[in-house]
Amino acid sequence: MDHAADAHRTDLMTITRHVLNEQSKHPESKGDFTILLSHIVLGCKFVCSAVNKAGLAKLIGLAGETNVQGEEQKKLDVLSNQVFVKALISSGRTCVLVSEEDEEATFVDPSLRGKYCVVFDPLDGSSNIDCGVSIGTIFGIYMVKDKDNVSLDDVLQPGKHMVAAGYCMYGSSCTLVLSTGNGVNGFTLDPSLGEFMLTHPDIKIPKRGKLYSVNEGNAKNWDTPTAKFVEKCKFPKDGSSPKSLRYIGSMVADVHRTLLYGGIFLYPADKQSPNGKLRVLYEVFPMSFLMEQAGGQAFTGEQRALDLVPTKIHQRSPVFLGSYDDVEEIKALYAAEEKKA
Q: Considering only residues 163 and 4, tell me which one the structure prediction assigns the higher pLDDT.
A: 163
pLDDT for the residue 29: 78
Q: What single letter denotes the amino acid at residue 236?
A: P
**Does residue 340 register a pLDDT over 90?**
no
pLDDT tens digit string along 208-229? 999 999 999 999 999 999 999 9
**Does residue 158 register a pLDDT over 80?**
yes
Measured between its terminal Cα atoms, the distance across the chain in Å is 57
Phi-psi group of 276: left, alpha or beta (phi > 0 → left; psi -120 to 50 → alpha; rest → beta): left
The sign of the dihedral angle between the CA atoms of 17, 98, 314, 122 is positive
Cβ contacts of 149 within 8 Å, gap of 6 or more: none
Q: Considering only residues 56 and 308, tell me which one the structure prediction assigns the higher pLDDT.
A: 308
- C-alpha 291/C-alpha 312 separation (Å) is 23
163 strand-pairing partners: none
pLDDT for the residue 5: 55
- C-alpha 106/C-alpha 152 separation (Å) is 10
- C-alpha 319/C-alpha 287 separation (Å) is 10
Fold of the domain spanning 15-200: Fructose-1,6-Bisphosphatase; Chain A, domain 1 (3.30.540)
Average pLDDT, the chain: 92
- C-alpha 170/C-alpha 135 separation (Å) is 5
pLDDT for the residue 335: 96
Least confident interval from 89-93, 126-130, 255-259, 307-311: 126-130
- C-alpha 164/C-alpha 140 separation (Å) is 6
User: Where, residue-wise, is CATH 3.30.540.10 in the chain?
Assistant: 15-200
pLDDT tens digit string along 18-58? 988 888 887 777 889 999 999 999 999 999 999 988 877 77
**Does residue 1 register a pLDDT over 60?**
no
Give residue 247's Cα distance to chain centre: 16
pLDDT for the residue 126: 82
Secondary-structure percent of the chain, ordered helix, strand, coil, rounded to 5:
40, 25, 40
Q: What are φ and ψ of residue 281, in 5° steps?
A: -65, -45
**Does residue 111 register a pLDDT over 70?**
yes
**Does residue 320 register a pLDDT over 70?**
yes
Pairing between β-strand 185-190 and β-strand 195-200 as defined by DSSP bridges: antiparallel
pLDDT for the residue 96: 97
pLDDT for the residue 9: 61
Cβ contacts of 89 within 8 Å, gap of 6 or more: 97, 106, 108, 109, 112
Choose among 44, 298, 290: nearest CA to 165.
Answer: 290
195 strand-pairing partners: 190
The predicted model gives 80-87 an average pLDDT of 97
The predicted model gives 136-158 an average pLDDT of 94
pLDDT for the residue 8: 57
pLDDT tens digit string along 55-79? 777 777 766 667 777 766 568 888 9
The predicted model gives 146-173 an average pLDDT of 94
Percent of the chain past pLDDT 90, that is, above it, reads 77
Strand-by-strand arrangement of the 135-143 sheet = 106-107, 94-99, 116-124, 135-143, 164-170, 174-179, 185-190, 195-200
pLDDT category at 333 given cuts 50, 70, 90 is very high
Q: Which CATH architecture has domain 211-339?
A: 3-Layer(aba) Sandwich (3.40)
- C-alpha 78/C-alpha 84 separation (Å) is 10
pLDDT category at 300 given cuts 50, 70, 90 is very high
User: Where, residue-wise, is CATH 3.40.190.80 in the chain?
Assistant: 211-339
